[in-house]
Amino acid sequence: MAQETGALSAEESRLIWIDCEMTGLDINNDELCEVSVVPTDFNMNVLDEGIDLVIKPSQAAIDHMNDFVRHMHTSSGLVSEWDNGLTLEEAEKQIVEYVKKFLPTQGNGKAHLAGNSIHSDKKFLDKYMPQLMSNLHYRIIDVSTLKELSRRWYPAVYENKPAKHGGHRALADIIESIDELRYYRQMMFVKDLPTEQEAQSGAQYIESTSLLRTYEKEGNALTDSSTPEKADY
């Protein structure tokens, strides 16, 4: 059974919340046009009010926008700000300088990326802001995972989640994502935490009822208990 080596300290557990606006979702043709960053600790306490940078996309990316995206960014006022937007290079430089102020000084020195459906943002950040991403942990905190779990396991929580009014502007969207995770933590996570013995018993039960045991009974073991425990990086 893989286990964490220990609880993370507040210094090691910082989250870098990011929301991006793009000219579309086609990684080959679309570009970043707004990026907002807000740092928090692991209790979602805001460490700084954050930054919001508008990026001027290329004419090719603008021409590639479909009608839905064009209307969305026009209605939000983002299009009218593009002429005075930063270059991609300058935006990344400013974001990296900002993020480095909040990176943990303990552990591996990397903070976790957090957001809503953050995999979509991460795809563009990996391509267009690799220097930024080199400062962030490969693990991510995706609020949309809890959204989908609450929808299936705790429908009352899902149906009463905080309303969102961000209007597809990055800074408002990311602050609402922080608030959404605060809500899920309050509503879904038990307040009476298990003791270490109870946690061990729970893990043993999960292992004993795992699909892995079915494969073993059929003579098709997928794991070998004699091998060293897999590290949980």
* Residues 59 and 83 sit within 8 Å (Cβ to Cβ): no
Q: What is the mean pLDDT of residues 185-213?
A: 83
**For residue 211, what pLDDT band results from cuts at 50, 70 and 90?**
confident
Residue 63 lies in a domain: yes
Structural element, H or E, at residue 54:
strand 51-54
Residue 210 lies in a domain: no
Residue 158 lies in a domain: yes
Q: What is the mean pLDDT of residues 182-188?
A: 91
Residue 229 lies in a domain: no
Residue 150 lies in a domain: yes
Work out how many domains the chain is built from and give that number: 1
Burial (Cβ within 10 Å: 0-12, 13-18, ≥19) of residue 64? middle
Closest to 135 measured CA to CA, from 169, 95, 76: 95
- Is the pLDDT assigned to residue 229 strictly greater than 70? no
What's the CATH number where 130 sits? 3.30.420.10
Each residue's pLDDT tens digit, 36-95 = 999 999 888 899 999 999 999 999 999 999 999 999 999 999 999 999 999 999 999 999
Each residue's pLDDT tens digit, 101-132 = 999 887 788 999 999 999 999 999 999 999 99
Adjacency order of strands within the sheet including 111-115: 51-54, 32-40, 15-22, 111-115, 136-142
**For residue 231, what pLDDT band results from cuts at 50, 70 and 90?**
low
Predicted TM-score (pTM) of this structure: 0.84
* Residues 94 and 53 sit within 8 Å (Cβ to Cβ): yes
The per-residue pLDDT of the chain, averaged, comes to: 88
* Greatest pairwise CA separation for the chain in angstroms: 65
Residue 2 lies in a domain: no
Can you tell me the distance from the alpha carbon of 16 to that of 29, in angstroms, rounded to the nearest whole number?
26
Tell me the one-letter amino acid at 122: K
Report the percent of the chain where pLDDT is more than 90.
61
* Residues 75 and 111 sit within 8 Å (Cβ to Cβ): no
Q: Where in the sequence numbering do the catalytic residues fall?
A: 138
Range of the domain at 139: 15-188
Q: Please enumerate, as own/partner, the contacts of 207-213 that have beta carbons within 8 Å and a separation of 24 or more.
A: 207/1
Q: How many CB atoms lie within 10 A of CB 83?
A: 8
Q: What is the DSSP string of 73-107?
A: HHHTT-GGGGGGPBPHHHHHHHHHHHHHTTS-SST
**For residue 1, what pLDDT band results from cuts at 50, 70 and 90?**
very low
Q: What is the mean pLDDT of residues 30-35?
A: 97
Residue 177 lies in a domain: yes
Q: Dihedral angle at the C-alpha atoms of 176, 182, 185, 186, nearest 10 degrees?
A: -120
Can you tell me the distance from the alpha carbon of 155 to that of 62, in angstroms, rounded to the nearest whole number?
40
Each residue's pLDDT tens digit, 99-108 = 999 998 877 8
Can you tell me the distance from the alpha carbon of 152 to that of 150, in angstroms, rounded to the nearest whole number?
5
Residue 89 lies in a domain: yes
